Amino acid sequence: MKKLVDQWNKAAKKYTKDQEQSDFVESNKRVVKARFQDISGQKVLDLGCGYGYYADYFQSIGAEVIGVDGSANMIDIAKARYKSCTFEICDITENFPYANDSFDLIFCNQVLMDVENIEKVFSECYRVLKSNGIFYYSIVHPAFYDSEWVKDKKGFCYGKTISSYIKPYSFTNEFWGKTEHFHRPLSYYLNVAAKQGFTLKHTEEPTSYDGITKNKDLPLFFFAEYRK
């Protein structure tokens, strides 16, 4: 985990800047804000909170929020931006520093595909979540993420080609500096959650592309909501 944390410490500033300018991030926000509009009095764990945007959002709609991330640099940025929020450094692949049945909602946005040991993450989420609590996560869609666009004669990106899907593997992204990405098929995520005891309530594959330059009928993200 130390290697991954070091990568994200180096990437923190550029990642934050790029996220604020990304249309894809805006499409992600629309899904989350449509789902969560008023959670007054609920206790929320923002798992892998990054620079703190969603922790601040959940606090703004009435929740008591703790944002945690393994990257100290990310936490520093979050604390500087959202001074009224609570942020803590936490290695989410180890035991969480919280008691059993502590949270009404665990929110994990665009994190799990960059974590090697998700079995431990799901186990700890189940432990600290209250009975009937919500575990809600999003990831880049593994069926389409590590792929190449196919263009027509006019330059419209109409499809994608992939050469590997079923077998898990890892590779390095270069968007914000080197960060490791762990590919797993959707079945992997679904089975880990089921084995832990979570009940799947809803999934979503929202529109992210504009339909003008890229085919909007191909998803970029996958969202899942579970109950304990």
Q: Specify the DSSP element, H or E, that contains 217.
A: none
Q: Where are the domains of the chain?
A: 2-227
The per-residue DSSP string of 87-127 comes to: EEE--TTS--SS-TT-EEEEEEES-GGG-S-HHHHHHHHHH
Q: Which amino acid is at 182?
A: F
pLDDT score for 30: 93
pLDDT score for 149: 96
pLDDT score for 1: 64
Residue pLDDT tens, the chain, 228 long: 667 776 776 766 777 877 777 788 888 999 999 999 999 999 999 999 999 999 999 999 999 999 999 999 999 999 999 999 999 999 999 999 999 999 999 999 999 999 999 999 999 999 999 999 999 999 999 999 999 999 999 999 999 999 999 999 999 888 777 888 999 999 999 999 999 999 999 999 999 999 999 999 999 999 999 999
**Which fold, 2-227?**
Rossmann fold (3.40.50)
- The Cβ of residue 180 has, within 10 Å, a number of other Cβ atoms equal to 16
